[in-house]
Homo-oligomer: A and B are copies of this chain.
Amino acid sequence: MDAAAEVFAEHGFRNATVREICQRAGANVAAVNYHFGDKASLYAAVLAELSRLAQDRFPSDAGLDDNATPRQRLTAFIRSFLQRVLSEDLSARHGRIMAREMVEPTEALDRMARDYIQPQADLLRDILRDLLPPGTDPALTRLCGLSIVGQILFYAHCRPVLQRLQPEGAFAVPELDRLAEHITRFSLAALDALGRHNATTPRGRSGTRPALPR
């Protein structure tokens, strides 16, 4: 399973070959079929295992006590999410594989979405509800969540591009602490502003909202 995780993370489900997995594991080609039935089941097993690992290692509420403020909870959420996505060790495979699932979904994605992603989405929604003023349009809450997640996943998806941009090295993925701090600060600033505005014009689509340029 270790070898499988590596190869799947590297090539994706479809392009990973059982042969490479087995070779890297020092096992026979038939080993996968013997132990897991087929390639897809191995993949499912790997995904389940990695999800578990990632959740254990980087819980979304790392270091929070029961009376943590919403800002603290968002900070922890972003940081642990980034860790799961960026860390180079074992659980990094999880991020890579998830990224691939998003671009080229397999049947396994359904289960992942239900068991793994949905809870995260719910958690983030709850945090944002506490951060935004009561009565905020749920659609707006959702969009804010997606803006936050987008900032994070960007580093999981686009690393190859960042490495190729000039000036050389300037776009290397920043160290995790710096990154977590930035995304948190950027997002909190936006949420504060949107919340402030929204509080005065609850629900309504536009009204006195400061006009967008153009």
Interface residues of A (CB under 8 A from B): 12, 14-15, 63-64, 68-69, 71-72, 75-76, 99-105, 109-110, 113-114, 117-118, 121, 138-140, 142-144, 146-147, 149-155, 157-162, 164-166, 170-171, 174, 179, 181-187, 189-190, 192-194, 212-214
Contacts and interface: CB of A to CB of B under 8 A. Distances in A.
Given A12-B103, A63-B214, A184-B212, 8 more contacts: A72-B214, A101-B160, A103-B104, A110-B164, A140-B182, A143-B174, A153-B157, A186-B194
Given A103-B104, A150-B151, A76 B185 contact: no
Assembly stoichiometry (copies)? 4
Nearest to A113: B164
Given A63-B214, A150-B153, A165 B14 contact: no
A179 B99 CA distance: 22
Given A72-B213, A103-B157, A161-B113, A151 B142 contact: no
Contacts of A99: 103, 157
Given A154-B149, A214-B72, A160 B121 contact: no
20 contacts: A14-B15, A102-B158, A102-B161, A105-B161, A113-B165, A118-B165, A118-B166, A139-B170, A144-B186, A146-B154, A146-B162, A147-B151, A147-B154, A147-B183, A150-B151, A150-B158, A189-B190, A189-B193, A190-B193, A193-B193
